Structure 1
Amino acid sequence: MARYTGPVCRLCRTEQKKLMLKGHRCLSDKCPINKKRPAPGKDPKARPGKRSDYGVQLREKQKLKRIYGMQEKQFSLFFERALRMPGITGENLFALLERRLDNVVYRMRFAVSRSQARQIVLHGHVTVNGKRVDVPSYLVKAEDTIEIEESSKGLIIIKDALKEFGKSGVMPWLQLDPDAMKGKFLAVPRRGDITDLGDIKEQMIVELYSK
C-alpha cells in the first residue's frame, strides 16, 4: 500500500494550515505553522501571486486528502462513491471519510494522529462488533462498537493517547468508555457537525473532479 514517507510538517507548510499530522507536536511551539514558517520552496520576501480557479480547487482537495492521510487514487475512489450516493456530493464525501476505521480510532482518542491510528488498525489492535478488523479504510456504520483488542489494552501508546479524552472528550457522534477502551459510533455525522477541519470548501473539490 503506497503511502507518503516524507517529512509531514512540510505538508502543513505547503498548505499553510495545521493538518494535525503529528499529534501533540502540532499543538506545541515546535509546529512550523505556529512559527509562521513559509511554504517550502518559497522566497519569504516574494509577493504572493494570484491563484487560478484550478489552483484554489487543487489546494482544497490536497488539504482534505492530507488531513485524512490518503493517496490520490484512494481519495478519488471515495469521491466517486460519494458522487453515486443520493444527496449532496461534498457532504457525502465528508461522511465517508469520517466513517473510515482509522479516522474513528483517532476520533476516539486511541491514537494521537490518524497515521498512528492507521498503524494501530493495521497491527490488529482494533475490533469492530467483537471481530478484529485490520483494514484502515473499513467503513464503520451507525451503532457499531469499536474496541481495543483485549491483549492490546496494555499498550503505552494507546494509554497515553487516551489522556486527551480527559481534556477534550470526543465528538458528539461518538461514545467512549476510556477505562474499557471501548466506544460506539452513534451516527454518521453531518458536514455541519465536523467543526475541527477549519474552512475546507468541499464544493471546490466537487468542481475540481467535475472538470
Structure 2
Amino acid sequence: MAKYSGPVCRLCRREGEKLFLKGSRCMTEKCAIERRSYPPGQHGQARQRTSDYSLQLREKQKLKRIYGLQECQFRGIFERAERQAGVTGDTLLRLLECRLDNVVYRLGFGASRKEARQLVNHGHMMINGRKVKAPGALVKAGDSVEVRQKSRELLPIQGALAAVDGRGIPEWLELDRTACKGTIRSLPTKEHIVLPVNEQMVVELYSR
C-alpha cells in the first residue's frame, strides 16, 4: 500500500480522535477536531453503520496512524508481539513505544512522530553514542538516546524542546535538556501508555 501523503488532519477527523499528528497545532483551537469533529467527505455527517469488524478496524487504524506505520510494518510488529510471552495487546503497545522515532518524540526532540522520524532518517540521533538512521530500531532499558553534537542547535529540535513541558515526559524516560540526551529508565508498561485505543480489539481483528 502506498504511503499516505494527504492532509493528516483528515486522519484525525476520520477516527474522531486527536491523534496529535501535527505537533503543537493539535493543542490549539485550530485543530481540525475542534472545528469539525465529524468524518471528512460528502457523507461525513451521515449516520455510520457499525459492526464488530468495523469497530476493530477503526482501533487498528487509529494505532497505525498514531505511530505513522504502514500495514506491513504494523503487521510485522504485531506478529513479533504475538510470539512473545505475556498479553499480546500489552506487548504490542510496548514494542510500538520502544521504537526509536517514538522515543525521540516522547523525549521532546521532535514536535511530532513524523518530525522525529525525519530527524532519525537524517542521521541526527544516536543510541549509546552510535548514530542510528533506522526509525524502527528498538531501545532497551538503560539505553541513552541523544542528539548528535553538531545537530543540537537545529531550530526544529530547540523549538520542540521549548514546548515539551506542555506535553510532559513519560515516567519511563529521563531527559537531560542541557546535553540533549534521554535515558530509558525502564521499559514502558500498560499504565505508562495513555492512548485513545482499545488494543484488545486490534488483537481480535488479527485473530479473525
- Indicate the TM-score class for this superposition, using the shorter chain for normalisation: over 0.9
State the Cα distance separating 1:42 from its structure 2 match. Answer: 4.6
Question: What is the CA–CA distance in structure 2 between the aligned matches of 1:110 and 1:132, rounded to whole Å?
Answer: 15
Question: What is the CA–CA distance in structure 1 between the aligned matches of 2:172 and 2:65, rounded to whole Å?
Answer: 23
- Percent of aligned pairs with the same residue? 52
Question: What is the CA–CA distance in structure 2 between the aligned matches of 1:79 and 1:110, rounded to whole Å?
Answer: 27
State the Cα distance separating 1:68 from its structure 2 match. Answer: 0.3
SS, match of residue 33 in structure 1 = helix
Q: Which moved more, 1:27-36 or 1:151-160?
A: 27-36
1:205 is matched with 202
- After superposition, residues 109-188 of structure 1 pair within 5 angstroms as 109-188=108-187
Question: What is the CA–CA distance in structure 2 between the aligned matches of 1:148 and 1:53, rounded to whole Å?
Answer: 44
Indicate how the Cα distance of structure 1 residues 159 and 89 shifts in structure 2: closer, same or farther if over 3 A, else same: same
**AA at the equivalent of 2:144:** T
Q: Which runs of 5+ in 2 are unaligned?
A: none
Runs of 4+ in structure 1 displaced over 4 angstroms? none
Indicate how the Cα distance of structure 1 residues 161 and 173 shifts in structure 2: closer, same or farther if over 3 A, else same: same
2:29 is matched with 29
- After superposition, residues 55-74 of structure 1 pair within 5 angstroms as 55-74=54-73
Indicate how the Cα distance of structure 1 residues 44 and 145 shifts in structure 2: closer, same or farther if over 3 A, else same: closer
SS, match of residue 163 in structure 2 = helix
SS, match of residue 73 in structure 1 = helix
Q: Which moved more, 1:160-169 or 1:93-102?
A: 160-169
SS, match of residue 176 in structure 1 = strand
2:41 is matched with 41
Q: How many residues matched?
A: 208
Question: What is the CA–CA distance in structure 1 between the aligned matches of 2:174 and 2:2, rounded to whole Å?
Answer: 32
Q: Which moved more, 1:2-11 or 1:180-189?
A: 2-11
State the Cα distance separating 1:38 from its structure 2 match. Answer: 1.8
Q: Which moved more, 1:76-85 or 1:49-58?
A: 49-58
Question: What is the CA–CA distance in structure 1 between the aligned matches of 2:6 and 2:21, rounded to whole Å?
Answer: 12
Question: RMSD of aligned C-alpha atoms?
Answer: 1.5
Question: What is the CA–CA distance in structure 1 between the aligned matches of 2:77 and 2:132, rounded to whole Å?
Answer: 20
State the Cα distance separating 1:13 from its structure 2 match. Answer: 0.8
State the Cα distance separating 1:141 from its structure 2 match. Answer: 0.6
Question: What is the CA–CA distance in structure 1 between the aligned matches of 2:99 and 2:27, rounded to whole Å?
Answer: 24
Q: Is the 8 A contact 2:39 2:45 kept in 1?
A: no
